[in-house]
Structure 1
Amino acid sequence: MAVTVSAEGAPAEQARPLDDEPGPRSWARAFNDLRQGWRQRPLWGYLGWQDIKQRYRRSILGPLWISISMAVIATAMGILYGALFQEDIKTFLPYVATGLLIWNFVQGCILEGSEVFIANEGLIRFLPAPLSLHVYRLVWRQTLFFAHNVIIWVILMIIFPHPLGWASFMAIPAFALLVLNGGWITILSGIIATRFRDIPPIVASLTQLLFFMTPIVWSYDRLRDNPAVAERAQIAELNPVMHFVEILRQPMLGDAIVWRHWLVVGVITVVGWGAALVCMRNYRSRVAYWV
């Protein structure tokens, strides 16, 4: 509000044009929310780490249970499905374990992302903080889970050596893409699920189905090389999660890089963030009323 002085010497208020100040539905406020949330890295970084510590607060091994649980599941699935599909355990166990490692990150962003704002109802109502803070906190927590579980991959690479080379460094940008996509998935599903509370259980059911449609405990290459089902195997590529798993699993196991998967992930990243930003622009200001 600007203040001017009239000819008589009395102060007179001059209204600021409404067009100068962005309304609740504006790109400026949506991008500013993301910037302000990123600037509060010490806060959501600390909160994400505390989430893990609280989960294992009274246990002796603490966060090591994250890796132990993952190792038990990966070993059991690798041995079971390896026997069913007659796979070589030396190659199939690292294949399954690496796939589960990536899947847990994707699944965490999908499932917890759909409830990220609902779970933080108290903070959203009474703490003047950007919405993106809760998104960064969730993605950071999933990154810490992933980092804990990488120890399983290291152990398997020692027990069952794979021909890792310079191409294995592609795992770094691949994981960066996973983190980037985890952000828009959390924003989009979180806002929609806050408005429609039936979404989280639906997402949970679909995620279970998505697990069996993704080549984690079964090999897409072996299915594709089977002449009887080679054409049907291409249907698996309609599953977007498959491409996210492959861009990271291939360099982690020393396999040849298939750039088709990177192209698909790149397109999904652009489209997904576009949809998330539109959702942030239109409905960011309503989340506090919906929780």
Structure 2
Amino acid sequence: MSSTFCLEEEKNRIITIIEKVPDLVTENKNLCEEVNYWKNKFVTLQEEVNNHYNAAIYNYELCMKYETKVTELTKSLQNMDAKTKEMSEEYTKKEQKMNEESNQKITELNNKINQLEEKIVLLNEEKEKLLADISSAKTRGKDQEVESKDQFSVLESNDKEKHTPIQQQNEPKQEEITNETNENTPEEAKELEKIVNEKKSNDAMKIIEKLGGIKALAKNTNLNNMSWSYNPKEDGLFEVIIFCSDKSCSFIAVYNSQEMNVEENQPYCQTSNDHFCIFDLPAGSYEIFAYNDESLENIGYSKITFN
């Protein structure tokens, strides 16, 4: 009886142990599922790692590219700064040079303007002097005429007082002499002026012939040292007074503008006296040239028109 009890206890103990032993199939299945889970988890993690790795490589390459670009842009900015500085310095130098040149030109122009103003003043003074001389000459002619009349009046008075009969006989002759004297005084002045102008014209033509003739006269219309004025005369002509401000002026030639290009066209010519000449010209347009007797180039030019 005792043996039977022991066997029963051993049996129960073994059954208890067997019950405690897990089911290997179930356990194996669970282990397989867990292994598959972790395997899938590993694959997922591996993909994530690969993605992160690829992203890191891409970002690194992108950073390197941007770094290269930034380096290039930095160098470009440095070059631009250097170029800007160089251009700024060059511009400053050019601006200073231009300002100096502008100031110099302004000074030169102001000097020229002052010279021209002085020349204009001198020309006006010469013109006034010339007109005064002409007016004085005309006045002297009139004074001489009046003086002659006065002298004849005195003679007539004396004759009337002392020799009335003789005066009555000689009165027609005396009147004839008076009229002749009155008429001849301005005529003599005109004749004298004509002779002087002809001599000046002949002297001018001799100079022209010495220089090579009419064809040799150079006409440079870029010069302008001339001034002129005119007065109408009773004979229909115009008394034209021409003045050249160049002190080296030797003679002045006057061409009719319509006939200027005609070959061997004979101009009006006169040697200058105190830098001016007086011409008696018909109405029209003319071109005037001042010359030096030692050069073929003209030293003064202007166009004139009067009618």
TM-score, normalised to structure 1, is: 0.23
Greater RCO (Cα-Cα under 8 Å, separation 6 or more): 1
Structure with the higher fraction of residues in helix conformation: 1
Mark the structure with the bigger radius of gyration. Answer: 2
TM-score, normalised to structure 2, is: 0.22
Structure with the higher fraction of residues in strand conformation: 2
